[in-house]
């Protein structure tokens, strides 16, 4: 069956099997930032934005995405022009192996679209279904809080690993 998707702002018609999930289709189409960690919609690695909301692509039948707008990590920013959330993750050293990070960043994008000034608890709740074995979550939480401030125009970009006075923890070292 053929379905129509808008992926990262580009209209696409793709052939999908009746049993295929959205993650499989997106990866086949070249969007390798969509990771398949569990193939069951529980780890968060396959998260994409579907009509603006974060969804686990491996838990969504591809045909359910027909006519919808999909944003993958590839559509958020570029190597030369990172989205403020991506830049905050880099600046706060919140990226380890990178497997879970695309889904976590897209979850953060969805959160900040709905709540531009979240508390630390709200950030933690938003990313609690993004399983990460590397970071321990503290640095991603700090990065998301910093990105929220940047996106509100309240903070300058942190370029010292989050130890500047503009960081969410007011100059404390995060080591």
Domains and CATH numbers, the chain: 2-75 (3.10.20.30), 84-151 (1.10.150.120)
CB 14 within 8 A of CB 1: no
pLDDT score recorded for residue 156: 61
Lowest mean pLDDT among 29-33, 135-139, 160-164: 160-164
86: exposed, middle or buried (Cβ count in 10 Å: 0-12, 13-18, 19+): buried
Using alpha carbons, list the distances in angstroms from residue 46 to 88, 101, 117, 142, 160.
21, 10, 25, 22, 30
Q: What is the pLDDT of residues 16-70, one digit of tens each?
A: 999 999 999 999 999 999 998 887 778 999 999 999 999 999 999 999 999 999 9
């Amino acid at each position: 069956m053929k379905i129509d998707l808008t992926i990262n702002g580009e209209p696409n018609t793709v052939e999908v099997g009746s049993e295929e999930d959205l993650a499989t289709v997106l990866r086949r189409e070249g969007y390798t930032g969509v990771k398949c960690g569990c193939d069951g919609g529980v780890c968060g690695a396959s998260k994409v934005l579907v009509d603006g909301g974060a969804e686990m692509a491996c838990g969504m039948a591809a045909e359910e995405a027909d006519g919808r707008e999909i944003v993958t990590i590839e559509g958020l920013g570029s190597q030369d022009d990172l989205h403020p959330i991506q830049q905050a993750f880099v600046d706060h050293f919140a990226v380890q192996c990178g497997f879970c990070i695309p889904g976590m960043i897209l979850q953060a994008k969805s959160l900040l679209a709905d709540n531009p000034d979240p508390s630390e608890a709200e950030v933690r709740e938003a990313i609690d279904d993004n399983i990460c074995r590397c970071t321990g979550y503290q640095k991603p939480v700090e990065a998301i809080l910093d990105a929220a401030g940047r996106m509100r125009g309240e903070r300058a970009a942190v370029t010292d690993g989050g130890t500047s006075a503009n960081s969410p923890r007011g100059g404390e070292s995060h080591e």
